[in-house]
Structure 1
Amino acid sequence: MTSVRKRNWTAPNGEEKTAWQVDYKDAAGKRRSKQFTRKKDAEAWLTTAAYQVQQGTHTPDSQSITVAKAAELWIKRGERENLEASTLAAYGQHVRLHIVPLCGDKKLSQITRPMAEGWRDDLMEKLSRPMASRVLRSLTAIVSEAQGRGYVAQNVVAGVKMRRAKREKPKVVIPTKAELKAIIAAAKASAEPMAYPLALIAIFAGLRASELRGLPWRCIDLKAATVTVDQRADVKNVIGPPKSEAGYRTIPLPASAIAALTAWKLACPPTDDGLVFPSLAKRVMSHMFMNVNIMGAVQLAAGIADPMMKDGKLALDKDQQPVVAQRYTLHDFRHAAASLWIEQRVNPKRVQKWMGHSSIQVTFDTYGHLFDQADQDSAVAAAIEQELIG
């Protein structure tokens, strides 16, 4: 039985108080009550609550928790599941800097779809689209975790989506063939002996930076001319498994890479983890050192660099010469590998496998324009052949 009744009482300080109390039974048949200052608010809430009870989606406020508390439970679960340190740090940042200030004090049972849509809009106004999307996904996961624990009956945030961007998604930055040739030549001439094999593996195998840093010699098959990925180094230089099942893969290597690796294996200092590219201390090399001190230095030697700007002006060194920086990161060489495979008409599913993508959609979203271009090139060649040969 449900009802809305007026309640009068005297406060401890002698002040007369009035409120409108809603009495109802939840889905389990337990009597519940909730007070409102105005009668119309009480009636409106009761209409919604009665429908939710009937649908089995109602959670009493007394049994719910705040978004901030739910976020704590979500983070702790991630810690128990041994998520990567970088992932936990990102989640903690989402919660601390964005979610708690936005809605941390709100009880899960009080969240409505319009409310969640408003939070999405607030995030989009304050943050970049990619960051707003990540924070919204974290908020959805937080409520989902609480739902599984029985603190809320439904996840209204799950249906809230980011609006589709009007601008075209920027294409990936890919080094040109001329630049790749210059980089390979500079790496081969470098005084750093690991620069040449590192450049060849990065360009021809498309490994992630974390996979290059955690690559062991046991995963290099010099006879079969392949490299296998079954581990990686995280942001704290800790060796662990790939981030997903798709990360486990075997990729073919050309003869030049095998020759360079064979020579480097004889000179490579031994390490406890048997690393192919260890640091000077014979441990996992940091991302910055590999990216800047090795591949960055190779690019500068090859003349592949861009001037740096400071306060809108060209940055100058102490001799008043322009300061330049490497043009490409380690991840850009991963894109280079994909583009070379696609140009050779490698099947999209195989490109997905070699890149370690979780789905073919990721591959098409990233390199779809390259596949389209390859198809067009093939059609042009076939048309010319038809005209000349028949």
Structure 2
Amino acid sequence: MKGYVEGRRTREGEKRWRAGWRIGPRPAHGPWRNKRFKAEADLRQALHEIDSGQNWSIQRVSYRAVLEKWMELKRPNLKPSTLNDYQSAIDRYLLPRFGHYQLDQISPALLEDFIADLRNTGLKAKTIVEILRVLNQHFRYAVRRHHIRYNPLTDVEKPRLDKPEIDFLRVEEIRKFVATLPRDWKTSEQLQKSFFNRIPKLPEPLRGVVIRYYVQNQKVERIARDLSLAEGTVKSRLHRARQVLQFLPSRNDFHGDYIFFLIAILSGMRLGELLGLQWNDIDWETKKIRVRRALWRGKINGKWQWVLQRPKSKAALRDLDVSEDLLQELRKHRLACPKSHNELVFCTQAGEPLEARSLMRWHFEPALKRAGLRKIRFHDLRHTYASLLIAQKESPKYIQTQLGHASIKTTFDTYGHLMEETNPVAAARLSAVVLNGSAKSR
């Protein structure tokens, strides 16, 4: 907002100045001053008060009412996964705590107490920060709508997020990992048969639970009811059996482990992007994989649903370079895999989408264990891909586009320490060029 300073002469011939500005359709003025700099100070003060909301007429409203209006505004533009995350933070933490307050009653002290209580429940700092991000959006919306004069969250000490250390597989570890994966569907089925042959060797009560779950195809709830056990006890026994056998087959009958994890290592695709990959996303001629969607599973209107949604960001829409060897493995997979209703590259025997947790629990983690490797996250395969590109001295810009980072700053912040390992060599090369060149010129 801009204002002005106007001047006039009195009857006595003396010069006077005053500040002027506008609040909506209504003009406003400051007092007449005998010095121009005083009127300019009045103008600066008035504009500051307007910008900070001190001159607004506040429309008092409850936090719940603002929240409902904000959700109406945001809902059409949010991905289902983002909407689910927002709704979870609101229903579990924000409404129970602030739903009965008027918005202007929520003070920085009240917010600091809220953060302390979240910490005491054992929530991680990252989760608390994500909850506060949602709350911050509510306050910013309320300031724009003149329900409060300022955002109280700006004066609150927020949890500090330590930068996590990334982990990745080295070349020898990649070879060990890939060697443990069944290379085709037949080998994977044989691995399952081997598992069933080892069931009788399990001690009780592990054997009974595993037989009911994998052979008789009973659900955890029924097993718990039939054996008069808690569901948590049944799950812990299945987990114990997996530790003993180092492998439990997935009940979704997925046998594409080799190509699935190979693509993850050689393309850096996120888990949701891989699960949402369709056959028409593969350009066999130009040797590219087009990332256009991600698969997400979550609750919508109280029901669990599969949703193919846009990827994480606009930059995540990208075309990945892949090798002919990888395309050849994809051709083999296409001949063996079942037909999917959505033309998914990776699906169950029934053609349904894969469930991420099941894939990690019954495929990824056992493969790491068979290879004798430490436990890592699936996302660390993405870091592995980045580390391979850096080792090959690919340009940071190329790495950014392949990974789908919105900014090259993200690429440097995440992988800069890996690039630093080459700095001494780069410095030596630069010195050699300059010094050797100057020596020759003499």
Q: TM-score, with normalisation over the residues of structure 2?
A: 0.62
Kindly indicate whether residue 266 of structure 2 is the aligned counterpart of residue 204 of structure 1.
yes
Query: Percent same amino acid among aligned pairs?
Result: 27
Match of 1:260 in 2: 329
Matched, 1:370 2:370: no
Task: Name the counterpart of 2:133.
Answer: 137
Is 1:162 the counterpart of 2:158 in the alignment?
yes
In 1: Cα distance, 2:94 partner to 2:329 partner: 49
> Any conservation in 1 of the 2:52–2:150 contact (CA below 8 Å)?
no
Find the aligned partners of 2:282 and 2:319 in 1 and give their Cα distance: 10
Contact 1:279 1:286 in 2 (8 A): no
| Aligned partners of 1:206 and 1:334 also within 8 Å | yes
2:85 corresponds to: 90
Structure 1 gap segments, 5+ residues each: 1-25, 30-50, 306-326
Q: 1:230 aligns with which of 260, 269, 292?
A: 292
Q: Which of 300, 313, 316 is residue 247 of structure 1 equivalent to?
A: 316
1:358 is displaced (CA, Å) by: 2.1
Aligned partner of 1:57 among 36, 45, 54: 54
Unaligned 5+ runs, structure 2: 1-22, 27-47, 189-254, 299-305
TM-score by length of 1: 0.70
8 Å CA contact 2:289, 2:319 repeated in 1:
yes
Mapped partners of 1:278, 1:205: distance in 2: 19
Amino acid at match of 1:375: N
Whole-Å Cα distance in 2 between the matches of residues 214 and 281 of structure 1?
16
Checking the alignment, whether the CA contact within 8 Å between 1:27 and 1:54 is kept in structure 2 is: no
Change in Cα spacing, 1:387 to 1:264, as seen in structure 2 (3 Å) is farther
- Match for residue 180 of structure 2 among 181, 186, 195: 186
Instruction: Determine the structure 1 residue equivalent to 2:33.
Output: none
Q: Distance in 2 between matches of 1:297 and 1:387?
A: 55
For residue 260 of structure 2, give the secondary structure of its aligned residue in structure 1: helix
2:297 aligned counterpart, secondary structure:
coil
Give the superposition deviation at 1:343: 1.6
Question: Residues 1-390 of structure 1 correspond to what in structure 2 (within 5 A)?
Answer: 56-57=53-54, 63-84=59-80, 86-112=81-107, 116=111, 123=118, 127-158=123-154, 160=156, 162=158, 164=160, 169-187=163-181, 189=183, 191-192=187-188, 194-236=256-298, 237-304=306-373, 327-376=375-424, 378-379=426-427
TM-superposed deviation, 1:380 = 6.1
Q: Deviations over 1:48-99 (max 9, x none)?
A: xxx96796435666x2222233233333444333432x32332223223333
Alpha carbon RMSD of aligned pairs, Å? 3.5
Greater helix proportion: 2
Q: Work out whether residues 196 and 260 of structure 1, in 8 Å CA contact, stay in contact via their aligned partners in 2.
A: no
Is 2:293–2:308's contact at 8 Å kept on the other side of the alignment? Answer: yes
SS at match of 2:319: strand
Counterpart CA distance in 2 for 1:114 and 1:59 is: 24
CA distance in 2, matches of 1:239, 1:83: 10
What letter is aligned with 2:173?
E
Residue aligning to 2:202:
none
Q: Which amino acid aligns with 2:138?
A: I
Q: Secondary structure at the match of 1:235?
A: strand
For residues 377 and 280 of structure 1, do their structure 2 counterparts lie closer, same or farther at Cα, with a shift above 3 Å needed? Answer: farther
